[in-house]
Amino acid sequence: MLRSPAVVITMTVLVWFIAAFLLWPNANLLVQTFFPDGQFTGRAVEKLMSSERAMMSLGNSFLLAVTLALTVNAVGIFIVLVTEYFRIRGAKVLWLGYATTFIYGGIVLAAGYKFIYGADGIVTKFLAGIFPDMDRTWFEGFFAVLAVMTFATTTNHMLFLGSAIRNVDFQTIEAARNLGASSWTILRRVVLPTLKPTLFAVTILSFLTGLGALSAPQVLGGQDFETITPMILTFANSTTSRDLAALLALVLGVATIAMLSVMTRLERGGTYHSVAKVAAPLQKQPIRDRGANIAVHAVAYVLFLIYVFPLTLVVLYSCMDSAAISTGVLTLDRFTLENYVRVLSQQSALKPFIVSIVYSALAAIISVGGLLFVTRLMLKYRGWLMSALEYLLHIPWILPAAMIALGLLITYDRPNPLVGGFVLSGTVVILLLAFVIVKVPFTLRMLKAAFSSVNGSMEEAAAIMGAGTLYTFRRILLPAVLPAAAAVAALNFNNLLDDYDTAVFLAHPLYQPLGLQIKANTDGGASVEAIGNTFVYTVLLMVVMGTVMYLVYGRLNRVRRSPRARRVPLQRVGGDAGTPNADLPEGATTEESSAAPLR
Amino acid sequence: MIRFDSIRVTFDGFTAIHNLDLHVEPGEFFTLLGPSGCGKTTALRTLAGFVDPSAGDVFIDGRRVTTVPSDKREVGMVFQNYALFPSMSVWENIAFGLKVRRTSGAERDRLVEDMAARVELSGDQLHKKVSELSGGQQQRVAIARALVLKPKILLLDEPLSNLDAKLRHQLRGELKALQSDFGITTVYVTHDQDEALTMSDRIAVFNKGRVEQVGTPQEIYDASASEFVCNFIGDSSSLTPALIHRLNELARRSQLDPARLSYLRVEKAALDLPGRSDHLHDDGSVTVSGRVTARNYHGQHSRYTVRLDDADIKVLVKEDGRHGPGLGEEARVRINPAHVLQYGATG
């Protein structure tokens, strides 16, 4: 293994990357908090305990986490049931409405809600015209944050719970009905129990999303509802309170790790999956009780409107002139493309978009390109060293983005031998690094699955015909995993495009990505043009992300369903790796916990 | 042609092959047969050069190849799932090895087309993707890809095991025909006794990392050397000491040892016409009477279970329209003591 120079170089880079960017910055947070001068001190803890604001934010975050876990589950389970389990009229349209969160989340969504329901929002203005005495800040504070985050983070439910419910063996439902169970009993006793592990997982993901929330509390929390991550950001900006920021980040990190380990423990207990050898596909269940049926339909469509309304307004107002935006008017004669022209032609307006695209594309390519080699080595040379390195590469998964960003920021704000004596904080490189780092675990898991799904005999077949290791990698393995690698890169790109949480800590002041620009436009004094720009950004983002999603998932489904793919009798012979249905390895979506769209 | 000389293979302390000595003649279709985990695939992979033996040597054509890399051993291999490269066309798959060997373009075209013609792949199929071929065509591509390099030996690792029954039968014939056509020494791995018996010149039966018997299909079947071979191949009834005693009494020349484990192949027992029972025939067989305890109808034949003393003897009866004895009725079973297979220590 050490004879090949390519292997030695890859291993060296890998070990350096792990040491410099995964281990030391996070360990350094601990050091900065508890050993700022080389000696243990509990000063940071004392400072935290005595800061009423900080303690309040801790309490608020946990309150948000717990309530969010409840509300997201309520909404999430309901929308999954109406789109996947019950026979509901227009289920496909409903699904499209609920699925808007796939391409509309994070800071973009928070900003959208503020432009519509905020103190100067379109709806608020409209309502104030009718009820002049109303409280214009009605959509602010805990309630607003909770509402926005509830409807923004059902993505996990649609992904994981949706796929779990589609995998329920229909024969178990028929058997239960044959034994005399009612629809309600079947749902409660047969279907939901098989979904338990997925429910645990999405509950914990929702909890963590609430705990680490940044953009929604910042944009909609107002003065009275501050949470941990915005607080970390505030403290991090001043040298005297950095230890406090570090300590809060540690609290967040410890809570995250604890919750994730609970989740792993829960998942291990019990058999939930179908034991059937031939599972029958799920058929949608009619709701037999007429009253219940009407009620469920009504709630489903009200939720649909809640999901689609802000988005529709954003799209419509992106085509209205400034005067219409500032007064909240929506008429056909005010229709204009001036916002689009402005964003696409003015360098200052287009720049954030370009910056985001460049950063995301670079990070996507670097993470996938680098890990292609690493993953291949991990599968080829198994052993304790490789296992240890693989575990370490998962660090970014168990730590909140804010903690990773803060670790990088305070570790590399002075010359450090680990990075050749350079200062990274404040440069354009550090955000790219952070983007690559947060994408490492997902990319690694996906590529590992892709490589594992390649038929091992192909390597031997190449070897027996005299092909060398590199030739085999280039001609046989790479083409086999390339569709999957491209899909992973595309998803990484999508996920980073509207990033706010990492950028807000690390972005270079002159190269601010889109997320920061959108956030800036939500702050009180923003001009009408800036608001119009934000609407255009939102639409452009959705177009880009929607296209990528379609290319990755849409094409995938089409291939899966194509009759030819089914006709070929020996599809597993090579078909696995060759046809594009291997684009995303099995369980691709289950690995996407980092895609929680709103923190 | 091929010689395994005291080969021993261990994986992490587990011994997959104990002490293997085998000799395969030139041009032979030689089958390694056994249940899963018996070491047959390991033996094949040792020959291919994918597994390093911890002791012993492998010889191909008199040359010691134990440490020679697999591509220098002049062996071609067809994998269980064919391992065709999905990113390449059929033509590119077959030409892959030639390209690696830097065979000139014109020569390569000639060899590939020549080989494709011999395995009956049309020019049209050569430019298809491998996923567009049927199972049988994929098998032919895999064989062509292996044979185009003109190996001395062809290795086949359960190439029929993933196919449905009908295709398996069809490809079995096709594969055997191609092999005799090319006349290449072939080592074939399978767990399917039917496949082994119909295709092979000789068979080595593996069990728990050891070879139990090497022989022609008929030797393996009719004169199974061990109890394992007897049970693994074909179907047989177990005879009890009491029944052996009775056979010895009736057939005066028969001297079977009642203390040993005794088996009789199901097709070797026959139902006799009604008449005198417990008597000796001229060919040395005897007729013993008992009672029918079960009858399973299979369409072409029925399988009777007849209780003789304390032994349950299975008898195959062709369903040719005649009425056999019913359940609980008397049945007379004809057995030749010379067909009884005996194993285990005496006394």
* A484 pLDDT more than 80: yes
State the nearest Cα–Cα gap between A276 and chain B, in angstroms: 21
Average pLDDT value for residue range A355-381? 93
Q: What is the DSSP letter of B272?
A: P
State the nearest Cα–Cα gap between B164 and chain A, in angstroms: 10
Task: With residue A348 as reference, give the H or E element that holds it.
Answer: helix A347-380
> SS3 helix, strand, coil % of chain B, rounded to 5?
30, 35, 35
List the single residue in A466, A479, A572 with the smallest CB-CB distance to B101: A466
Please tell me whether residues B154 and B130 are part of one structural domain. yes
* B247 pLDDT more than 60: yes
Per-residue pLDDT tens for A395-431? 998 888 888 999 999 899 989 999 888 989 889 999 9
Please tell me whether residues B73 and B144 are part of one structural domain. yes
In this structure, the number of other CB atoms found within 10 A of the CB of residue A78 comes to 18
Round the average pLDDT of chain B to a whole number and report it. 89
Please tell me whether residues B217 and B253 are part of one structural domain. no
The reported pLDDT for the residue numbered A129 is: 86
Please tell me whether residues B90 and B112 are part of one structural domain. yes
A362-371, B111-120, B323-332: lowest mean pLDDT where? B323-332
Domain boundary among B232, B250, B269: B232
Residues of B in contact with A572 (CB under 8 A): 81, 162
State the nearest Cα–Cα gap between B109 and chain A, in angstroms: 17
Average pLDDT value for residue range B268-282? 75
State the nearest Cα–Cα gap between A373 and chain B, in angstroms: 20
Domain total in chain A: 2
Please tell me whether residues B168 and B240 are part of one structural domain. no
Residues of A in contact with B79 (CB under 8 A): 457, 460-461
Whether the CB of B159 is below 8 Å from some CB of chain A: the reply is no
Residues of B in contact with A573 (CB under 8 A): 81-82, 84, 130-131, 135, 138, 162
List the single residue in B100, B135, B138 with the smallest CB-CB distance to A465: B100
Q: Residue A552 has which token pair?
A: 């990755």
Return residues 324-383 of A near B (CB < 8 Å).
none
Please tell me whether residues B186 and B303 are part of one structural domain. no
Domain boundary among B184, B205, B232: B232
From residue A66, alpha-carbon distances to A159, A167, A227 in Å are 21, 29, 13
Sheet holding B153-157, edge to edge: B75-78, B153-157, B185-190, B29-33, B202-207, B210-215
Residues of B in contact with A474 (CB under 8 A): none
The reported pLDDT for the residue numbered A1 is: 55
Please tell me whether residues A118 and A217 are part of one structural domain. yes
The reported pLDDT for the residue numbered B208 is: 93
Q: Residue A26 contacts by C-beta under 8 Å, 6 or more apart in sequence?
A: A253, A395, A399, A403, A404, A407
Tell whether A386 is covered by a domain: yes
* Type of residue found at B43: A
Average pLDDT value for residue range B138-163? 89
Tell whether A23 is covered by a domain: no
Across the interface, whether the CB atoms of B85 and A574 are under 8 A apart is answered yes
The reported pLDDT for the residue numbered A549 is: 86
Average pLDDT value for residue range A434-442? 94
Round the average pLDDT of chain A to a whole number and report it. 85
Here the CATH number for the domain that contains residue A367 is 1.10.3720.10
Average pLDDT value for residue range A25-46? 86
Task: Give the C-alpha separation, A43 to B42, whole Å.
Answer: 65
The reported pLDDT for the residue numbered A568 is: 33
Whether the CB of B243 is below 8 Å from some CB of chain A: the reply is no
Please tell me whether residues A308 and A323 are part of one structural domain. no
Domain of residue B196 covers 2-232
Return residues 535-574 of A near B (CB < 8 Å).
568-574
Task: Give the C-alpha separation, A399 to A254, whole Å.
Answer: 8
Please tell me whether residues A545 and A400 are part of one structural domain. yes
Please tell me whether residues A309 and A430 are part of one structural domain. no
**Cα torsion A243, A246, A251, A254: sign:** negative
Tell whether A30 is covered by a domain: no
The reported pLDDT for the residue numbered A23 is: 94
Q: Which residue of A has its CA nearest to B83?
A: A458
Here the CATH number for the domain that contains residue B112 is 3.40.50.300
* A559 pLDDT more than 60: no
Residues of B in contact with A578 (CB under 8 A): 86-87, 129-131
Q: Which residue of A has its CA nearest to B137?
A: A570
Q: Which residue of B has its CA nearest to A456?
A: B83
Domain boundary among A283, A316, A349: A316
How does residue A585 score in pLDDT terms, banded at 50, 70 and 90? very low
Q: Residue B171 has which token pair?
A: 């490809």
The reported pLDDT for the residue numbered A288 is: 84
The reported pLDDT for the residue numbered A403 is: 87
C-beta of residue A587 within 8 angstroms of C-beta of residue A449? yes
The reported pLDDT for the residue numbered A558 is: 53
List the single residue in B71, B83, B138 with the smallest CB-CB distance to A570: B138
Tell whether A10 is covered by a domain: no
* A579 pLDDT more than 60: no
In this structure, the number of other CB atoms found within 10 A of the CB of residue A224 comes to 10
State the nearest Cα–Cα gap between B74 and chain A, in angstroms: 9
Domain boundary among A316, A351, A378: A316
Task: Give the C-alpha separation, A222 to A522, whole Å.
Answer: 12
* A374 pLDDT more than 70: yes
Domain total in chain B: 2
Please tell me whether residues A298 and A324 are part of one structural domain. no
Please tell me whether residues A342 and A487 are part of one structural domain. yes
Tell whether A14 is covered by a domain: no
Please tell me whether residues B250 and B116 are part of one structural domain. no
Rounded to a whole number, what is the largest CA-CA distance in chain A? 84
The reported pLDDT for the residue numbered A591 is: 38
Return residues 460-519 of A near B (CB < 8 Å).
460-467, 471, 475-476, 479-480
The reported pLDDT for the residue numbered A275 is: 55
Return residues 248-277 of B near A (CB < 8 Å).
none
Average pLDDT value for residue range A209-222? 91
Tell whether A63 is covered by a domain: yes
- Top residue of A573, A581, A583 to mutate, by most chain B CBs within 10 Å, is A573
Across the interface, whether the CB atoms of B87 and A476 are under 8 A apart is answered yes
The reported pLDDT for the residue numbered A595 is: 37
Tell whether A33 is covered by a domain: no
A11-25, A541-555, B20-34: lowest mean pLDDT where? A541-555
Looking up tokens 């990528």 gives A548
The reported pLDDT for the residue numbered A598 is: 38
C-beta of residue A577 within 8 angstroms of C-beta of residue B83? no
Please tell me whether residues B227 and B168 are part of one structural domain. yes
Please tell me whether residues A122 and A242 are part of one structural domain. yes
Per-residue pLDDT tens for A119-136? 888 888 888 888 988 888
Write phi, then psi, for A539 (nearest 5 degrees): -65, -45
* A469 pLDDT more than 60: yes
Here the CATH number for the domain that contains residue B250 is 2.40.50.140
Q: Residue A462 has which token pair?
A: 């190449």
Q: Is B330 helix (H, G, I), strand (E, B) or coil?
A: strand
The reported pLDDT for the residue numbered B162 is: 74
Domain of residue A494 covers 318-599
The reported pLDDT for the residue numbered A399 is: 87
Average pLDDT value for residue range A470-482? 89
Residues of A in contact with B49 (CB under 8 A): 464
Q: Residue B17 contacts by C-beta under 8 Å, 6 or more apart in sequence?
A: B7, B8, B9, B39, B42, B43, B46, B53, B209, B210
Q: Residue B253 has which token pair?
A: 């020349």
List the single residue in A464, A471, A572 with the smallest CB-CB distance to B81: A572
Across the interface, whether the CB atoms of B71 and A458 are under 8 A apart is answered no
The reported pLDDT for the residue numbered B345 is: 61
* A572 pLDDT more than 50: no
* A573 pLDDT more than 80: no
Domain boundary among B167, B199, B232: B232
Across the interface, whether the CB atoms of B50 and A460 are under 8 A apart is answered yes
How does residue A217 score in pLDDT terms, banded at 50, 70 and 90? very high
Please tell me whether residues A303 and A328 are part of one structural domain. no
β-pair type (B279-280, B55-60): unpaired
Average pLDDT value for residue range A436-440? 95
* Global confidence as pTM: 0.80
Across the interface, whether the CB atoms of B100 and A455 are under 8 A apart is answered no
How many contacts does A have with B, using Cβ atoms within 8 A?
A: 104
Query: How many H-runs (helices) and E-runs (strands) does chain B carry?
Result: 10, 19
Domain boundary among A316, A336, A366: A316
The reported pLDDT for the residue numbered A562 is: 44
Tell whether A32 is covered by a domain: no
How does residue B282 score in pLDDT terms, banded at 50, 70 and 90? confident
Please tell me whether residues A432 and A579 are part of one structural domain. yes
Across the interface, whether the CB atoms of B77 and A464 are under 8 A apart is answered yes
Average pLDDT value for residue range B248-253? 80
* A273 pLDDT more than 70: no
Per-residue pLDDT tens for A50-108? 888 889 999 999 999 999 999 999 999 999 999 999 999 999 999 999 999 988 888 99
Strands (E), A71-185: none
The reported pLDDT for the residue numbered A564 is: 39
* B186 pLDDT more than 60: yes
